[in-house]
C-alpha cells in the first residue's frame, strides 16, 4: 500500500482555518521580533546616508540625488512620502523596512504553499521569521528588506505564470520585477535565474517565447535608468566613499557570510536545503526520493546558488561583496529548508524543526552593533553654540548619521547648521583642503571636532599651529574603538579671576541667558592650570535667590570626572559644562549664578583673587531675571 507524501492533505478545506491561524501567529512573531528594541541603537553610517538621499523635499529631488549615488531610486522615493506621513524618527524610518520584511515572510509562505504544500509554506515562513540576517536588516532604514521581499514576490508570480499563464500572474511578475530592479541592482541576478530556468522548463516553444518576451519587457522598463547606472559605474571606483565598505574574498569573509545565511546550525540548515531539492514519498514506511516537482525545486536551487557565486566572482574584479547583499537569496534558503523538513516523516520533522527553532531563538548569527552617535550628539549639543561654533566631523561616512542625530536633537534641518564634513572637503578641495579650512576658521574662537581615527593626524597639528587648544574630550566606545568629541578654543589673554594659586578662570557663560522656571541652566567655564596639584578639586556652580539664599547647585569634578584636576598640567586649558535645573516655582526676581572651587576634605573653598582683590570663596559669573507671568 502506497502512502501519500507527508505534506499532502485529503481535506484542505477542513485544515484551512488552522493553517490561517498558524500563519497569522508566524507573521505576528515576525513583526514582534523585528520591532523589539527597534530604536535601541543610533543610526549608523548607511542609515544616515539613507536620510540624506531621501531628503527630498520632492520625489524629483530624491531621484536627482540618487543619480549621483550608487543605488537605484525606488526605495528612497517610497521612503520620502512614508516619512512625510509618519515622521523622520529612527522608529518611523526603520518601520518601513520592518513592514517589507514581514510582507516577505508572507510571500514565502505563498510560494511554498503553491509549489509544495501549506505545511512547507508554514515552515518556510517560520524559518525566515527566525533568520537573524533578515531580522537585522528589517531593523535598519535601508533597502535590503524591500529587495528581498520584491525578489520573493517576483519569484511567486514568475512560478505562477510559468505553471498557469494568466494575465494577473504575468502583470504581477512584470511589475514586481521592475520594482525589484529599481530597488537594487542585484535584482538582475534573480532575473538571470529566471531566464536560465525558462530555458530549462518553459515548454512548448510558444510558452518560452512569451516568457522571454516578458522578461525582455522588464529590461526595457529599466532602460531609462540604465544610462544613470552606467554613469554611476564610471565614478563608483573613483570615490572610495562609495566602495570601501565592501569585503574581500577571504575565508574570514565567507565564514561571516555563512553565519548570516544559514546560521550557527549551518550543518543542519545545509542538509535540509539539500533535502529540499528532492521530493520524498513513503511506501510501507520506506522513503522514496525523486526530483519531482523539479520545476520549483530547481528554481529554488538556482535562486540560492547563482547570486552567491556571481557576487563572489564579480567581487574579484568589482568590489561589491557585503553580507547585506546576500539577503537576496535568504527567501530561497528558507523555502528549501521548509520543503526539506516536509520531506521527512512526522517524527523526524517535528524533532528537527524543534531543534532548529530552539537554536535560532537562543543564538544570534547576524548582528551589526551600531556606533553610539545618539550619545555623542548629546555630548555635543549640551554645550554647543551653533551660531558661533562650527562642528567638524572627521569620522568618514559616519558623519551622515551624526548629522542626522544632531538635526533631530536640535529640531532643525542639519543643512542649516555649521556642520563641516572633512572627508567631503578633502574630496572637494584636494591639495587646497587646509587653505579652505583655515579661511573658514579665521574668525572662529571655539570649534568642536567629532573624530574617529588614528591617534596622530595632521589636522591636530594644523589646529594647534593656528591658535586652537584642545580644552575638552568626550569619548564613546564602539567595539573596542574610541570615538572622540573634542572641543578646541582660542583662549583669551586675560582672566576673570584666580582660585588660590592653582586655577585661573578664563571665560564663563550661562545658557540660556533668560531661563524660565523649571528649565535647565548650563554653566560653561574655561580654566587654566597655574600649578600642578595631586588633589582632585571639585567645582560648584550655584544659583542664589534675590535674598542671597541658595536656590540650586551642581557640584562635582570637572567634566563629570573625565578631567580630574590631578591630571592638569601647568598651562593646560580645560573646559567644563554643568547643568543646573531650576525649580518650577521660582519667584520673580534677580538670580545670581556663582562659582567656587573646593576640596572635599576642606570645608573652606579656594580663596578668589579678582583684580588683585580677595572677594571670598564664591564669584558671580552671571545673573538672570525671573519676571512675573
3-class SS letters over 197-212:
HHHHHCCCHHHHHHHH
352 and 450 both lie in a single domain: no
- Please check the confidence at residue 283 and state whether its pLDDT lies above 90: no
Q: Give one DSSP letter per residue of 368-409, joined into a string.
A: -PPP-HHHHHHHHHTT--TTT--EEEEBTBTHHHHHHHHHHH
- Mark which of 299, 331, 361 sits at the end of a domain: 361
CB 50 within 8 A of CB 80: no
- Please check the confidence at residue 238 and state whether its pLDDT lies above 90: no
pLDDT at 264: 87
Query: What is the spatial distance between Cα 9 and Cα 509, in angstroms, rounded to a whole number?
Result: 78
CB-neighbour burial class of residue 322 (10 A; exposed 0-12, middle 13-18, buried 19+): middle
485 and 504 both lie in a single domain: no
Span between the terminal Cα atoms of the chain, in Å: 93
510 and 552 both lie in a single domain: yes
Q: Cell 593626524 identifies what position?
A: 457
For 305, the enclosing helix (H) or strand (E) is helix 294-315
- Mark which of 489, 514, 546 sits at the end of a domain: 489
CB 396 within 8 A of CB 424: no
Instruction: Note down the domain range covering 508.
Output: 497-626
More confident residue, 122 or 280: 122
Q: Report DSSP state, residue 491.
A: -
342 and 442 both lie in a single domain: no
pLDDT at 115: 94
Domain assignment present for residue 611? The answer is yes
175 and 240 both lie in a single domain: yes
pLDDT at 294: 85
Reported as a pLDDT band with limits 50, 70 and 90, residue 10 is: very low
pLDDT at 244: 66
Domain assignment present for residue 2? The answer is no
- Please check the confidence at residue 5 and state whether its pLDDT lies above 80: no
119 and 149 both lie in a single domain: yes
Cell numbers representing residue 357 in the block? 527553532
428 and 356 both lie in a single domain: no
Domain assignment present for residue 501? The answer is yes
Domain assignment present for residue 318? The answer is yes
562 and 450 both lie in a single domain: no
- Angle, CA 342 vertex, CA 336 and CA 344 arms, to 5°: 115
Domain assignment present for residue 366? The answer is no
CB 449 within 8 A of CB 486: yes
Please write the tens of the pLDDT for every residue from 95-135.
999 999 999 999 999 999 999 999 999 999 999 999 999 99
Domain assignment present for residue 378? The answer is yes
Quote the pTM value: 0.90
Please write the tens of the pLDDT for every residue from 351-410.
999 999 999 999 888 888 999 999 999 999 999 999 999 999 999 889 999 999 999 999
**Cis-peptide into 391, omega within 30 deg:** no
Query: What is the spatial distance between Cα 559 and Cα 539, in angstroms, rounded to a whole number?
Result: 10
Query: What is the spatial distance between Cα 45 and Cα 379, in angstroms, rounded to a whole number?
Result: 19
Domain of residue 542, CATH code: 2.60.40.3880
- Please check the confidence at residue 610 and state whether its pLDDT lies above 90: no
Question: Which residues, at least 6 apart from 442, have a Cβ–Cβ distance to it below 8 Å?
Answer: none
Query: What is the spatial distance between Cα 155 and Cα 124, in angstroms, rounded to a whole number?
Result: 15
Domain assignment present for residue 181? The answer is yes
343 and 462 both lie in a single domain: no
| Alpha-carbon distance values, 287 to 2, 46, 343 (Å) | 11, 49, 9
3-state secondary structure labels for all residues of 594-623: EEEEECCCCCCCCCEEECCEECCCCEEEEE
CB-neighbour burial class of residue 266 (10 A; exposed 0-12, middle 13-18, buried 19+): middle
- Please check the confidence at residue 243 and state whether its pLDDT lies above 70: no
Query: What is the spatial distance between Cα 582 and Cα 592, in angstroms, rounded to a whole number?
Result: 12
Of 323, 308, 322, 248, whose CA–CA distance to 273 is shortest? 308
411 and 289 both lie in a single domain: no
Query: How many domains does the chain contain in total?
Result: 3
53 and 103 both lie in a single domain: yes
Of 98, 109, 91, 189, whose CA–CA distance to 156 is shortest? 109
- Mark which of 439, 456, 489 sits at the end of a domain: 489
Domain assignment present for residue 368? The answer is no
- Please check the confidence at residue 2 and state whether its pLDDT lies above 70: no
CB 329 within 8 A of CB 261: yes
249 and 323 both lie in a single domain: yes
pLDDT at 16: 84
Domain of residue 378, CATH code: 3.40.190
Helices (H) and strands (E) in the chain, counts: 22, 17
- Please check the confidence at residue 421 and state whether its pLDDT lies above 80: yes
For residue 252, report the phi and psi dihedrals to the nearest 5 degrees: -65, -40
Amino acid at each position: 500500500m502506497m502512502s501519500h507524501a507527508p505534506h499532502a492533505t485529503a481535506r484542505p478545506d477542513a485544515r484551512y482555518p488552522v493553517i490561517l491561524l498558524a500563519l497569522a501567529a508566524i507573521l505576528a512573531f515576525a513583526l514582534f521580533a523585528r520591532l523589539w528594541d527597534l530604536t535601541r541603537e543610533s543610526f549608523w553610517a548607511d542609515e544616515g546616508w539613507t536620510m540624506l538621499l531621501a531628503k527630498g523635499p520632492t520625489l524629483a529631488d530624491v531621484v536627482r540625488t540618487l543619480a549621483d549615488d550608487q543605488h537605484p531610486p525606488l526605495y528612497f522615493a517610497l521612503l520620502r512620502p512614508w516619512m512625510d506621513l509618519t515622521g523622520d524618527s529612527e522608529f518611523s524610518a526603520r518601520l518601513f523596512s520592518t513592514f517589507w520584511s514581514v510582507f516577505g515572510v508572507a510571500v514565502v509562505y505563498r510560494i511554498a504553499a503553491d509549489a509544495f504544500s501549506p505545511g512547507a509554506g508554514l515552515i518556510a515562513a517560520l524559518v525566515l521569521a527566525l533568520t537573524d540576517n533578515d531580522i537585522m536588516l528589517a531593523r535598519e532604514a535601508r533597502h535590503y528588506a524591500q529587495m528581498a521581499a520584491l525578489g520573493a514576490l517576483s519569484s511567486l508570480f514568475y512560478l505562477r505564470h510559468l505553471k498557469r499563464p494568466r494575465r494577473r500572474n504575468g502583470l504581477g511578475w512584470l511589475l514586481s520585477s521592475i520594482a525589484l530592479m529599481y530597488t537594487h541592482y542585484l535584482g538582475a541576478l534573480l532575473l538571470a535565474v529566471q531566464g536560465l530556468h525558462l530555458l530549462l522548463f518553459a515548454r512548448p516553444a510558444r510558452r518560452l517565447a512569451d516568457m522571454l518576451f516578458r522578461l525582455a519587457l522588464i529590461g526595457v522598463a529599466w532602460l531609462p535608468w540604465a544610462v544613470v547606472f552606467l554613469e554611476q559605474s564610471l565614478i563608483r571606483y573613483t570615490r572610495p566613499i562609495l566602495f570601501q565598505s565592501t569585503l574581500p574574498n577571504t575565508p574570514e569573509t565567507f565564514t561571516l557570510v555563512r553565519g548570516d545565511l544559514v546560521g550557527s546550525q549551518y550543518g543542519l540548515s545545509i542538509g535540509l536545503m539539500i533535502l529540499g531539492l528532492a521530493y520524498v514519498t513513503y511506501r510501507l514506511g520506506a522513503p522514496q526520493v525523486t526530483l519531482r516537482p523539479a520545476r520549483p525545486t530547481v528554481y529554488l536551487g538556482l535562486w540560492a546558488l547563482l547570486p552567491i557565486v556571481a557576487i563572489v566572482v564579480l567581487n574579484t574584479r568589482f568590489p561589491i561583496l557585503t553580507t547585506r547583499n546576500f539577503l537576496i537569496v535568504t527567501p530561497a534558503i528558507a523555502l528549501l529548508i521548509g520543503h526539506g523538513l516536509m520531506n521527512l516523516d512526522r517524527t523526524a520533522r517535528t524533532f528537527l524543526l524543534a531543534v532548529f527553532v530552539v537554536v535560532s531563538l537562543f543564538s544570534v548569527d547576524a548582528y551589526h552593533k551600531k556606533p553610539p552617535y545618539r550619545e555623542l550628539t548629546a555630548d555635543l549639543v549640551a554645550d554647543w553654540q551653533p551660531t558661533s561654533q562650527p562642528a567638524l566631523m572627521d569620522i568618514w561616512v559616519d558623519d551622515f548619521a551624526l548629522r542626522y542625530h544632531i538635526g533631530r536633537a536640535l529640531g532643525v534641518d542639519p543643512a542649516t547648521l555649521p556642520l563641516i564634513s572633512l572627508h567631503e572637503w578633502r574630496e572637494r578641495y584636494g591639495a587646497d583642503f587646509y587653505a579652505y579650512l583655515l579661511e573658514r576658521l579665521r574668525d572662529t574662537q571655539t570649534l568642536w571636532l567629532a573624530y574617529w581615527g588614528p591617534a596622530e593626524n595632521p589636522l591636530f597639528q594644523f589646529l594647534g599651529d593656528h591658535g586652537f587648544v584642545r580644552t575638552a574630550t568626550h569619548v564613546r566606545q564602539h567595539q573596542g574603538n574610541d570615538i572622540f568629541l573634542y572641543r578646541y578654543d582660542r583662549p583669551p589673554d586675560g582672566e576673570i579671576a584666580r582660585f588660590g594659586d592653582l586655577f585661573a578662570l578664563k571665560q564663563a557663560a550661562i545658557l540660556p541667558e533668560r531661563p524660565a522656571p523649571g528649565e535647565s541652566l548650563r554653566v560653561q567655564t574655561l580654566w587654566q592650570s597655574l600649578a600642578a596639584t595631586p588633589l582632585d578639586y571639585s567645582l560648584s556652580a550655584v544659583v542664589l535667590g534675590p535674598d542671597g539664599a541658595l536656590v540650586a547647585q551642581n557640584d562635582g569634578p570637572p567634566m563629570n570626572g573625565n578631567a580630574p584636576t590631578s591630571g592638569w598640567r601647568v598651562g593646560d586649558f580645560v573646559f567644563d559644562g554643568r547643568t543646573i535645573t531650576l525649580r518650577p516655582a521660582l519667584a520673580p526676581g534677580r538670580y545670581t549664578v556663582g562659582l567656587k572651587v573646593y576640596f572635599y576634605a576642606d570645608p573652606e573653598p579656594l580663596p578668589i583673587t579678582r583684580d588683585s582683590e580677595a572677594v571670598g570663596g564664591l564669584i558671580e559669573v552671571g545673573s538672570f531675571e525671573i519676571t512675573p507671568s
